[in-house]
Amino acid sequence: MEKIRRTALVAGVANGRSLAWFSAISLLKKGYDVIITYQNDRFEPTVKKMVESYQKEQIKSGNGIRKCGGFLKYLPCDVSCDNSIRTLMTEDVPKVLHESSKTERIDAIVHSIAHAPPESMKQSSSSTTNTNEPSLQLVGTSRSAFQTTHDVSSYSLIALTQHALPYLTTVTTTTDTDTSSVTALTYLGSTRAAPHYNVMGPAKASLEAVVRGLASELGPAHGVRVNAVSAGPVNTLAARGVQDFTNLKQRTAENAPLRRNANPEEVADVVAYLSHGEEGAGAITGQVVYVDGGFSSVVAV
Ligand code: NAD
């Protein structure tokens, strides 16, 4: 029987620590063809090198991933620019699909993108110097920083999904494995005021609301599932923008029921599980799934 080819579009690879990169690897292991996207020229050389060395490794080791027949390609996409998203979805992705997999569908989209202007993630000048008092960082957010953060970190999920919709599988009979999916990465700062998370907290709350709204619209109309994975702290480029991140990570591990943080592979495996819709995940939509050692379930004192 001919193997069903599945294609995933994973947006937001900056380097080898990116949750998008780990997600791409997990999807490749499940036999997906994977297209990753990077923001701009700054990231292109790193991403190119990663993809090339991954491909060389597969050829050398033949460790099963390559035998799945999956390919790994990389394309640019700046989600703050409609033209860039349009070019990705109407020119670049169709070309790759046509040349490489001879399909015209995308089975899974992973959104692993966030950005806040650096000044909005720093201690504001009006903040107190007394360490016993909460710092005033969200209150110092400018209108434009608020808009940029929400645009890149939340609206982009709508924009990407909107442009990708023609390629997401439309199903007539829904079984647990034939639905396509959209999965976004989020953080607990959406529902709790997390130290130094500032304007990213409201942006993640917005992102999660977008997940629920899209799930409710796209389930009946297109059979598309939409979910979010809420990851505990992981050392990445984006995490470096959060002040005192090392302390946040350590305190999270100390207070989590499992007394450790989730590692990026675990986060990525849940992304791939939700994307694929296997083993019951085909009935999951509109949800935020926490992969954080249980931290989100307890009151830390
Ligand atoms: P990362 O820096 O590797 O990934 C963030 C990506 O967003 C980068 O590739 C960056 O280029 C991209 N990006 C920013 N602005 C963009 C734009 N205009 N157009 C296209 N891409 C843009 O860091 P990460 O931690 O892997 O972040 C991925 C996702 O995971 C984010 O949504 C982040 O909020 C979420 N997350 C991270 C953690 C953590 O602790 N690292 C925890 C929970 C959730």
DSSP notation for 48-85: HHHHHHHHHHHHHH--STGGGT--EEEEE--TT-HHHH
CB distance 78 to ligand 1 below 6 Å: yes
* CA pair distance 106, 7, nearest whole angstrom: 5
Compute, in angstroms, the gap from residue 171 CA to the centroid of ligand 1: 31
Compute, in angstroms, the gap from residue 264 CA to the centroid of ligand 1: 13
Examine the pLDDT at 173 and tell me if it is beyond 60: no
Tell me if residue 301 falls in helix, strand or coil: coil
For the chain, the average pLDDT equals 90
CB distance 233 to ligand 1 below 6 Å: yes
Examine the pLDDT at 301 and tell me if it is beyond 90: no
Mean pLDDT of 87-114: 91
- Taking only the tens place, the pLDDT of each residue in 203-241 is 999 999 999 999 999 999 899 999 999 999 999 999 999
| 81: CB partners within 8 A, 6+ apart | none
Compute, in angstroms, the gap from residue 12 CA to the centroid of ligand 1: 6
Examine the pLDDT at 183 and tell me if it is beyond 80: yes
Mean pLDDT of 175-197: 88
Buried b (16+ CB within 10 A) or exposed e, 201-236: bbbbbbbbebbbebbeebbeebbbbbbbbbbbbbeb
Closest residue by CA, ligand 1 atom 19: 78
- Closest C-alpha to 143, from 202, 197, 84: 202
Compute, in angstroms, the gap from residue 175 CA to the centroid of ligand 1: 32
Mutation pick for ligand 1 pocket among 9, 18, 270 (CB with most ligand atoms within 8 Å): 18
Q: Which atom of ligand 1 is nearest to the CA of 152?
A: 18
Examine the pLDDT at 77 and tell me if it is beyond 90: yes
Instruction: Check if 273 is active-site.
Output: no
Instruction: Check if 54 is active-site.
Output: no
CB distance 14 to ligand 1 below 6 Å: yes
Strands (E) across 145-215 are located at 180-186
Closest residue by CA, ligand 1 atom 23: 238
Examine the pLDDT at 300 and tell me if it is beyond 70: yes
**Is there a contact between 194 and 188 (Cβ–Cβ < 8 Å)?**
yes
Q: Kindly report the length of the chain.
A: 301
Buried b (16+ CB within 10 A) or exposed e, 122-152: ebbeeeeeeeeeebebbebbeeebbebbbeb
Global pTM reads 0.94
- Taking only the tens place, the pLDDT of each residue in 133-169 is 556 689 999 999 999 999 999 999 999 999 999 999 7
CB distance 238 to ligand 1 below 6 Å: yes
